[in-house]
Chain A
Amino acid sequence: MMRPLRALRFAATLIGFATTPAALSAPCAGFTDVDATSPFCPNVDWLKNRAVTLGCTTTTLYCPDNLVSRLSMAAFMNRLGVALTPAIVYNEASGGTFDLDTPPAAVCQTASIPSTTFPRAAHAGALLTAQLAATPATVALKIVQSIDNGMTWTPLNLVPASVGGSAKWANAAVWTSDVQLAPGTSYRFGLRVERASGGGTGDLTSWSCQLRVMVSSRTGTSSPY
């Protein structure tokens, strides 16, 4: 008759054989125990890219059949909450005379938003309050982004907001569309203030701006999801 301890070892051996991963066609997100063709692979990839879990005993094993302890659950939910919580980047600036014919590439420039391993979306909004000189002028506003730390800037608005007149204070707001941020790229945002097409010859005698960018998680349609 098999003794209890030996029986337990025998059962454990059987379980071990039963749970040894079969040869996979390709690992999922670097995990050798999850097949890239598994319907769960996008879910596992999604979690890994948001650093909710990077594996179990090693970074090459996901241990898909292991149960989740309440202790681990607390860590996972905390990390998920961090990944899903939007981040707000804000900047404001002001100045005196502003030559609309030779404007800076961007005012109210944000600091660099670091890259991540997962897709994100950004939504930017900006306000400009300006005093227009006695000579008429129309000002065009566009939100711009830079992916080379401010060396070059790309407009995000197809149609600029615009405001104009002469010898008056003016206030204008502009928002971006849903800006998709690619994984592995750092971004900066700013506000371009320039003369509108046919916008007179006057300038600004004083101005102030505010720029607010909300960055949040986004789910892509393919890896890294």
Chain B
Amino acid sequence: MGIYRIVAVVFWTLVALSTRAEAQPGTCGGFTDISPGGGFCTNVLWMKNRGITLGCTPTLYCWANGVSRRSMAAFMNRLGNTLTPKVFSIEENGGVLDFSTYHVVCQTPELPAPAGNYPRFVDAEGSLSFEVSGLQTLIVVPVVSKDGGSWQAMGQSIGPYVGPGMRHNASTVAPGFLIFDGGGTPPISLKFGLAVSRQNQFNQTITSWACHLEVMVRNGVYNGY
């Protein structure tokens, strides 16, 4: 046996031994060639959930394959799209608002459920310029609806105590609201707005108002995914 053949046998034996360590039973997110307990399973699942790569076949990740520059361009482009925040904003104005019930102004259209099985965080900023007929305490807070009907507060409310004869401005920020934890059923659609309500004893009306709401949806990492 020549020296080159001996070297080749030793080399391929080492390769076989090293790859056997990765080929554990069980699957990582459906990939049979990735060990669920391995250190890379989290990374592979993170990529799969965001649609960056779904594998070389539905059940194989082909972890030892090289990456061509062509494939790299696709992966990095998809990663860039995933990490680029999406922003929705709306402006609106109107006349009299009474406070027999709360109002949701600056409502966005219903936004389709985000694709991909991964968490998103939503940051919202809103402002309301308004004039009241008398003394009043208002609560202004960004809200979200996952069913097109019921509203859920996204942040802490702002309650300006205001009086007549002035034009007022109330601003509110809701940072980092988790919209989807990646493990459940995604909402059918999302709708955002700015809730305006009376806080306590006063019963005045808003005589005119204008609002602005901006909602930024961004990629989130939650429990590692």
Q: Do A and B bind each other?
A: yes
Q: Is the CB of A67 closer than 8 A to any CB of chain B? A: yes
Which of B72, B90, B169, B216 has a CB less than 8 Å from the CB of A161? B169
Interface size of A in residues (CB-CB distance below 8 Å): 53
B80 touches A46 (CB 8 A): yes
A44 touches B87 (CB 8 A): no
Chain A interface SS verdict (over half): mixed
Report which residue of A43, A67, A84, A139 has the largest number of chain B beta carbons within 10 angstroms of its beta carbon. Answer: A43
A216 touches B84 (CB 8 A): yes
Chain B positions within 8 Å of A63 at CB level: 69
A56 touches B216 (CB 8 A): no
Closest to B216 in A: A123
With A138-B167, A162-B167, A168-B166: A84-B76 Cβ-Cβ less than 8 Å? no
Q: How far is the CA of A172 from the CA of B223 in the complex (A)?
A: 38
Q: Is the CB of A89 closer than 8 A to any CB of chain B? A: no
Q: Is the CB of B56 closer than 8 A to any CB of chain A? A: no
Q: How far is the CA of A176 from the CA of B80 in the complex (A)?
A: 24
Q: How far is the CA of A80 from the CA of B77 in the complex (A)?
A: 9
Q: Is the CB of A175 closer than 8 A to any CB of chain B? A: yes
Q: How far is the CA of A175 from the CA of B87 in the complex (A)?
A: 13
Interface size classification for chain B: 35 or more
Chain B positions within 8 Å of A218 at CB level: 84
Partner-binding segment picked from A10-18, A98-106, A152-160, A184-192? A152-160
Q: Is the CB of A223 closer than 8 A to any CB of chain B? A: no
Q: Is the CB of A173 closer than 8 A to any CB of chain B? A: yes
Q: Is the CB of A52 closer than 8 A to any CB of chain B? A: yes
Chain A positions within 8 Å of B67 at CB level: 67-68
CB distance from A85 to the nearest CB of B (A): 10
Q: Is the CB of B49 closer than 8 A to any CB of chain A? A: no
Q: How far is the CA of A217 from the CA of B84 in the complex (A)?
A: 7
A56 touches B69 (CB 8 A): yes
A64 touches B69 (CB 8 A): yes
Q: Is the CB of A207 closer than 8 A to any CB of chain B? A: no
CB distance from B73 to the nearest CB of A (A): 4
Which of A46, A178, A225 has a CB less than 8 Å from the CB of B88? A178
A34-65 contacts to B, CB under 8 A, are 34, 40, 42-44, 46-47, 50, 52-53, 56, 62-65
CB distance from A170 to the nearest CB of B (A): 7
B166-182 contacts to A, CB under 8 A, are 166-169, 171
With A65-B68, A84-B84, A172-B129: A165-B165 Cβ-Cβ less than 8 Å? yes
B66-109 contacts to A, CB under 8 A, are 66-70, 72-74, 76-81, 83-85, 87-93
Q: Is the CB of B212 closer than 8 A to any CB of chain A? A: yes
With A68-B68, A219-B81: A52-B167 Cβ-Cβ less than 8 Å? no
Q: How far is the CA of A209 from the CA of B145 in the complex (A)?
A: 34
Q: Is the CB of A66 closer than 8 A to any CB of chain B? A: yes
Chain A positions within 8 Å of B91 at CB level: 157-159, 177
Q: Is the CB of B127 closer than 8 A to any CB of chain A? A: yes
Q: How far is the CA of A26 from the CA of B81 in the complex (A)?
A: 26
B210 touches A161 (CB 8 A): yes
Q: A13-30 CB contact bits vs B (8 Å, 1 = yes)?
A: 000000000000000000
Q: Is the CB of B33 closer than 8 A to any CB of chain A? A: no
CB distance from B57 to the nearest CB of A (A): 19
Chain A residues near B (Cβ < 8 Å): 34, 40, 42-44, 46-47, 50, 52-53, 56, 62-68, 76, 80, 83-84, 121, 123, 125, 136, 138-139, 157-165, 168, 170-178, 196, 216-219, 225
Chain B residues near A (Cβ < 8 Å): 66-70, 72-74, 76-81, 83-85, 87-93, 125, 127, 129, 165-169, 171, 210-212, 214, 216
- What are 12 of the A-B contact pairs (CB < 8 Å)? A34-B70, A43-B77, A47-B73, A50-B80, A62-B70, A64-B70, A65-B70, A66-B69, A136-B165, A161-B127, A219-B80, A225-B77
